[in-house]
């Protein structure tokens, strides 16, 4: 039986899946081998070390490798040019970057997408295009609005095979910076998941410009509206609520990601009276890779 490998290779994470040609997952690796950890750009050795674990099951020498994510960026293995985001999703598979591995097998890198967003600003994605293609396959609705929450959240709108808009929101990174370094969390206890604080933050963040409400994580503590245990949850709510204000006119939203973060967005969207549907990010990634392989 033929097999292939699908790799989600990002800046900090590396996930590799061994699949049958019927797209059944046989084995899965998740390792701290993100781009930042790879010395001297020796991606070849790092990849081989990982897939070698499967050498008793498959013939490594002929095992094709399909990769998506920042591995195709300037800091990655090969810088694969972005495709225009106006491309039909079903055409991405014609544009995989193909090369031969040192040990003879074929490798492919999925190109990212680039285009002007609704704010008339250039925007980019690498990795999410694969999940988006998977989401398109998994969800029958002709129009889809989706959030891919994370360090850099992506908001995407799809009609059939076309991306009608996508843009990046830095919610995750902003939370990390404010949570770690800002005056708002100075002398505040470690993160504790406080639902009430989170929802109050969602409400205030949704209704107001971001920079006008951030300081309230401090002033609501001063006037006793929230407790010190709630500050970090409130701050998280402020940022997520404010992000969701960008989808003010959308009622039906898919959330594509890992369980914990998707749950936060789900809770926030429900609180705001929206229809939210969580879709497993890994399932979308694998469905996307399946679509890229097509009849190969």
- Residues that bind a copy of itself in the complex, under the rule CB under 8 A: 114, 119, 121-124, 151-152, 167-171, 173-174, 177-178, 181-183, 204, 207-216, 219-220, 222-223, 225, 239, 242-243, 245-246
Q: Which residues pair with 191 in a beta bridge?
A: none
The residue with tokens 């497993």 is 280
Nearer to a copy of itself, 158 or 174 (CB): 174
Exposed/middle/buried for residue 100 (C-beta within 10 Å: 0-12, 13-18, 19+): exposed
| C-alpha to C-alpha distance for 274 and 268, rounded to whole angstroms | 9
Question: Contact, 163 vs 157, CB < 8 A?
Answer: yes
Nearer to a copy of itself, 7 or 125 (CB): 125
Nearest to 20 by CA among 35, 1, 34: 1
Minimum Å gap between C-beta 214 and a copy of itself is: 5
Minimum Å gap between C-beta 141 and a copy of itself is: 24
Minimum Å gap between C-beta 203 and a copy of itself is: 10
Minimum Å gap between C-beta 113 and a copy of itself is: 12
Apex 171 CA angle, 165 and 176, nearest 5: 155
Q: Which residues pair with 65 in a beta bridge?
A: 5, 107
Minimum Å gap between C-beta 208 and a copy of itself is: 5
Q: Quick one: DSSP state of residue 82? A: P
What are 237's two structure tokens?
A: 């709510």
Q: Quick one: DSSP state of residue 100? A: E
Minimum Å gap between C-beta 146 and a copy of itself is: 16
Which pairing describes strands 113-116 and 83-84: parallel, antiparallel, or unpaired?
A: parallel
């Amino acid at each position: 039986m033929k097999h292939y490998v699908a790799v989600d290779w990002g800046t900090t994470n590396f996930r590799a899946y061994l699949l049958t040609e019927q797209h059944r997952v046989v084995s899965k690796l998740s390792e701290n081998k993100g781009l930042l950890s790879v010395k001297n750009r020796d991606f070849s050795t790092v990849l081989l070390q990982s897939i070698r674990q499967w050498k008793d099951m498959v013939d490594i020498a002929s095992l094709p490798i399909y990769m998506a994510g920042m591995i195709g960026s300037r800091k990655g293995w090969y810088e694969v040019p972005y495709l225009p985001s106006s491309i039909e999703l079903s055409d991405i598979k014609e544009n995989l970057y193909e090369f031969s591995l040192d040990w003879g097998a074929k490798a492919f890198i999925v190109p990212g997408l680039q285009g002007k967003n609704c704010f008339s600003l250039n925007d980019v994605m690498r990795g999410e295009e694969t999940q988006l293609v998977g989401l398109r396959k998994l969800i029958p609705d002709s129009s889809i609005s989706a959030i891919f929450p994370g360090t850099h959240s992506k908001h995407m709108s799809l009609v059939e095979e076309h991306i009608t808009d996508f843009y990046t929101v830095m919610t995750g990174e902003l939370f990390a910076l404010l949570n770690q370094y800002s005056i708002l969390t100075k002398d505040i206890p470690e993160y504790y998941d406080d639902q009430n604080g989170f929802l109050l933050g969602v409400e205030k963040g949704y209704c107001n410009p971001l920079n006008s409400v951030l300081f309230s994580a401090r002033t609501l503590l001063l006037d006793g509206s929230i407790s010190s245990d709630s500050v970090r949850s409130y701050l998280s709510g402020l940022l997520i609520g404010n992000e969701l204000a960008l989808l003010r006119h959308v009622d039906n939203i898919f959330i594509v990601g890992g369980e914990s973060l998707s749950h936060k967005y789900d809770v926030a969207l429900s609180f705001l009276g929206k229809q939210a549907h969580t879709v497993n990010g890994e399932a979308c990634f694998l469905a996307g890779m399946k679509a890229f392989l097509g009849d190969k």
